[in-house]
Amino acid sequence: MAAAEEVKLFRNWSSPFGLRVVWALKLKGIEYDEELEDLSNKSPLLLQYNPVYKKIPVLVHNGKPICESLLIIEYLEETWKQTPLLPEDPHQRALARFWAKFGDEKVFETMRFGILLKQGKEQEEAIVSTIENLKYLEKELKGKKFFGGERPLDS
Ligand SMILES: N[C@@H](CCC(=O)N[C@@H](CS)C(=O)NCC(=O)O)C(=O)O
């Protein structure tokens, strides 16, 4: 990578999607600036960079925006080769991507839309599904610090 890279992350203080990008940046030792957004009053720049979803996080690299946290991490992985986050083996890579997708589509969704936003029977069902989904993750992580082992890149 050339010395004068401009990397800016638009996120807010609490979003797990923003934080996963922070972890990837830190694990790879990439220097970056941060723009903390108020999601009830989004900045014109955020809306310009992510006009489709209007969500954080957005990473802007040398003026070029990338949206969606998992795609941002894939971009970091392809652009900064140091400290690979994904295993080398294609099958292991596919598994890592599977669990990332599972986390977003099953675990986070049942928690946010089921437990937090629903009530009564629907909420009880969401609690059961969330526990079931978390058990899958726990089983995968058992005895390991990361899904990949001691470091995110170990397979
Ligand atoms: N799939 C997206 C989800 C991002 C997301 O849901 N961001 C939320 C904060 S946690 C947001 O910006 N919400 C603002 C809105 O929906 O108006 C990703 O992985 O980046």
Domain borders along the chain are 7-79, 90-141
CATH 1.20.1050.10 fits 90-141, yes or no: yes
Ligand 1, atom 17, residue with closest C-alpha? 55
Q: What local confidence, expressed as pLDDT, does residue 3 receive?
A: 57
What is the CATH number assigned to the segment(s) 7-79?
3.40.30.10
Instruction: Pull the structure tokens for residue 102.
Output: 């599972």
Q: What local confidence, expressed as pLDDT, does residue 155 receive?
A: 47
Instruction: Pull the structure tokens for residue 45.
Output: 């720049």
Q: Kindly indicate the confidence band of residue 15, based on its pLDDT and cuts at 50, 70 and 90.
A: very high
Residue 108, SS3 per DSSP: helix
Q: What local confidence, expressed as pLDDT, does residue 1 receive?
A: 57
Q: What local confidence, expressed as pLDDT, does residue 50 receive?
A: 98
Residue 9 to residue 18: CA distance in whole angstroms: 8
- At 111, which helix (H) or strand (E)? none
Is there a common fold for 7-79 and 90-141?
A: no
Tens digit of each residue's pLDDT (9 = 90 or more) over 100-155: 999 999 998 888 888 888 889 999 999 999 999 999 999 988 988 877 777 676 64
Residue 96 to residue 16: CA distance in whole angstroms: 18
CA of 54 to the centre of ligand 1 (A): 8
CA of 133 to the centre of ligand 1 (A): 21
Tens digit of each residue's pLDDT (9 = 90 or more) over 59-106: 999 999 999 999 999 999 999 999 999 888 999 899 989 999 999 999
Residue 63, SS3 per DSSP: coil
Residue 67 to residue 51: CA distance in whole angstroms: 10
- Our answer on whether the CB atom of 69 is closer than 6 Å to any ligand 1 atom is yes
Q: Which is it for the CA torsion 62, 42, 19, 130, positive or negative?
A: negative
- Say yes or no to pLDDT of 14 above 90: yes
